[in-house]
Chains A and B, each alone.
Chain A
Amino acid sequence: MTSSQPPQRTSPADPEVTTTPGISATATAPLKQTERPHPLTPFVRGWLVFVAIAIGYGRELITSSSENQFESGGLTWILPLLGIVVVLAAVAGFVAWYFTRFVIDDEELRVETGAIFKKSTKIPFERLQSVDIIQPLAARMFGLAELRLDAGNSTTKLRYLRRAKASRLRDYLLTRAHGQQASIRDLDQESAASVFTDLGVGDQPLVQVTPQRLIISFLLSTEWLIPAAISIIIVGVTASLGVVPLALGGLIPLLIGMLSLIWRRVIGMFNFTLAESPRGLRITRGLTNLTSQSVPINRVQGVKTSQPLLWRLLGWYRIDIDILGHAQGDSESNESTASSVLLPVASREEVDLALGRVMPGFGLDGIELHPAPNRARWLRWFDFWTLRYGWNDRTLITEQGWFNHERDIVPHAKTQSVNVQQGPLQRRLRLADVHVHTPRGPVNAIAHQLDEHAARELALTQLDRARVARAAERERRSVAAVSDGDHSDEAGLLRAFGAGRDQLLGSGGESEVFALDHDRVLRLYRSRHEAPQRTAAQLQELYESWRGIDIGIELPLIIDTGERGGRFYTVDRRFSGRNFSSWLQDADMAQRRPALVSFLDATEQLQRLPSPVPGFARLIGDGAPQQFGTLSELLATMLQGPLASSRARLEHDVPGIVEVWNRLHGDLAERSISPAVVHGDVCPPNAYISQGTRGPVVTGIGDFSPHTISADPLLDVAGALIFLELEPYADAPADAAWLEAVAVERHGRDIVRWIDVYRRYYGFYFSNAYSFDPALYAWCLRQLSR
Chain B
Amino acid sequence: MDLTLNEEQLMFKKMFADFCTKEIRPKGEHIDQTEEPPEDVLAKAVDQGFWAALVPEECDGCGMDVYTFTLMLEELGRADMSTALILSVHNCLVVKPLLEHGSDQQKAKYLEALSVGERLGAFALTEAGAGSDAAAIKMTATRNGSGYVLKGSKNWISNGSLAGLFLAFAKAEGGITAFLVEPEMAGVKVGYREKTLGLRGVPANTIYFDSVQIPEVNRLGAEGKGMEIALQALSLSRLGLAAIALGAIERSLEEAVDFSMEHIQFGGPIALKQIIQNYIADAKTQIEALRSLVLRTAWLADSGQEYTQEASIAKLFGSRVAYEVTNRMLQVHGGYGYMKDYAIERYYRDCRALEIIEGTSQIQQFLIARDIYKAKGLEIRP
Chain B binds chain A: no
Chain B positions within 8 Å of A, measured between CB atoms, are none
